[in-house]
Chain A
Amino acid sequence: EDKVVQSPLSLVVHEGDTVTLNCSYEVTNFRSLLWYKQEKKAPTFLFMLTSSGIEKKSGRLSSILDKKELFSILNITATQTGDSAVYLCVRMGNFNKFYFGSGTKLNVKP
């Protein structure tokens, strides 16, 4: 089973809030876990996580992977309205195939 489960499905916050998005997966052939941001069209790359326990950071966004517990979180601090998007968690399996989670829709209100 290659299920990737994200929670919450939808989230509404105000600017300045901090949010944590969750992703859990069922490993069959794990290579990496990735996070993408999708606004109107194509997803844009955020992070690729391969090693457990090592936080990756880019500005106000950070992410970490726990390969023992099979989950990852994406944190966004000091949210802005431009962070409003669907955030997709992706498990990369064999042959570089991507298995997408259902996504978390984040709405940041001014």
Chain B
Amino acid sequence: GAVVSQHPSWVICKSGTSVKIECRSLDFQATTMFWYRQFPKQSLMLMATSNEGSKATYEQGVEKDKFLINHASLTLSTLTVTSAHPEDSSFYICSASGGPTYNEQFFGPGTRLTVL
């Protein structure tokens, strides 16, 4: 149990376009989902926390108008990178909490975004 999926796993887009990444908890209800980004050879950096039915909480330095997060249901959260630029190229990973071990976060496989 406690499986989290992400879609797509890899996306290449042109500068200026918007990209939506989905994060789904497949076998449990995720009351909270988290979004991270990871640059090459660096660790994961928390971007935002989203709770179902409420606005996401963004970490300091993360532009909420740039990275739109929607947590519409207990099994789905989406991250939209608006007007993407090459510097947004990164590995985006989501995690979900609310499974069998409440404090634990279960990570998705990640989405690699490349902006040309």
Contact = CB atoms under 8 A, between A and B. Distances in A.
Interface of B: prevailing SS: strand
B43 interface: yes
Contacts of A31: 103
Interface string A37-56: 00001111100100000000
**Which size class do B's interface residues fall under?**
20 to 34
Interface stretch (A11-19, A59-67, A72-80, A95-103): A95-103
Contacts of A34: 104
Contacts of A98: 34, 36, 44, 46, 95, 105
A101 B43 CA distance: 7
Interface in B76-110: 93, 95, 97, 101, 103-110
Q: Quick one: which of B43, B97, B103, B106 has the most chain A CB within 10 A?
A: B43
Interface string B50-62: 0000000100000
A42 B91 CA distance: 10
A96 B51 CA distance: 12
7 contacts: A41-B109, A43-B44, A43-B107, A88-B44, A96-B32, A97-B46, A97-B49
Given A42-B108, A98-B46, 14 more contacts: A42-B4, A42-B93, A42-B109, A88-B43, A95-B32, A95-B49, A96-B103, A96-B105, A97-B34, A97-B49, A98-B105, A99-B46, A100-B43, A100-B46
Interface of B: 4, 32, 34, 36, 42-46, 49, 57, 93, 95, 97, 101, 103-110
